[in-house]
Amino acid sequence: MRKNIVAGNWKMNFGLDETQDLISGLKKINKTSDAEVIIAPPFTNLFSAFESLKNTNIGLAAQNMHESDNGAFTGEISAEMLKSIGVNTVILGHSERRAIFGEDENLLTEKVNTALKHGMRIIYCFGEELKDRNYGEHQEVVGKQIANTLYHLDADAWKNIVLAYEPVWAIGTGETASPEQAQEMHAFIRKEVKHEYGEDVSESLSILYGGSVKPGNAEEIFSKKDVDGGLIGGASLKAEDFMAIVNAFKK
């Protein structure tokens, strides 16, 4: 069956010392759930995090990568660079990358293809804006976001795809989708993927929820049938909060 995953997106937070402090804090807290745990520190701290996480059950992800294999792209980081320091998972399509850095579906398709070509696993983020939900178009918007960037893949490629449904209106705002809203959307996504690829793919696909998940609301959200974990922003920056969210996962 599909994997439960809790991933922490640290965004542009923390230098080396704070990274090491947070990792030490995470290592001290007992993991009592069956969820896979992943943290995504900034690029500059990935290698030291990799060294510190050896022999632990905490994995690493990058927050982004460039779509090209190498070359004259000043300031960018490639899939092979990430793999060379032991990072095999990458977050793509985060709403901040889309909104602030203009990442559109063509670019994201290229990034997806490059990551998969290099054998990386992708945590693929998408989600509707508040206006889409107010117009009752949230499912249509989300359905297109997935179809336009992922449905060219063959079924086998989906072994390396984790989806993260993150309604834009709930990211970093303190607003959370209700557990029912999350379940409704996750069930819709699974149904769409089933329609396109069949039940083997849709039932093995982990679909994470992201958007103001906190220790106080994680258990209820994670208890929903089609919610297979969370992508956590703000609350992943405190070891106790993040591990409380990991351990809220009871299935």
Give the C-alpha separation, 112 to 126, whole Å.
13
Decide: is 8 part of the binding site for ligand PEP (CB under 6 A). Answer: no
Task: Give me the numbers of helices (H) and strands (E) for the chain, helices first please.
Answer: 11, 8
What are the angstrom distances between the C-alpha of 243 and each of 1, 6, 25, 58, 154?
23, 9, 9, 11, 35
**CA angle centred on 58, ends 39 and 190, rounded to 5°:** 70
Q: Is 103 known to be catalytic? A: no
The residue range among 46-54, 75-83, 104-112, 206-214 that interacts with ligand PEP, by the rule CB under 6 A, is 206-214
CB contact at 8 A, 208 and 169: no
Q: Which is nearer to ligand PEP, 9 or 114 (CB)?
A: 9
Element holding 178 (H helix, E strand): none
The residue range among 132-140, 146-154, 216-224, 229-237 that interacts with ligand PEP, by the rule CB under 6 A, is 229-237
Give the C-alpha separation, 128 to 138, whole Å.
6
Decide: is 189 part of the binding site for ligand PEP (CB under 6 A). Answer: no
Decide: is 26 part of the binding site for ligand PEP (CB under 6 A). Answer: no
Q: Which of 67, 138, 166, 186 is catalytic?
A: 166
Q: Can you tell me which of 4, 5, 6, 9 binds ligand PEP, judged by CB under 6 A?
A: 9
Q: Which is nearer to ligand PEP, 1 or 12 (CB)?
A: 12
Q: Can you tell me which of 213, 227, 243, 245 binds ligand PEP, judged by CB under 6 A?
A: 213
Active-site positions?
94, 166
Interface with ligand PEP by CB under 6 A: which residues?
A: 9, 166, 171-172, 210-213, 231-235
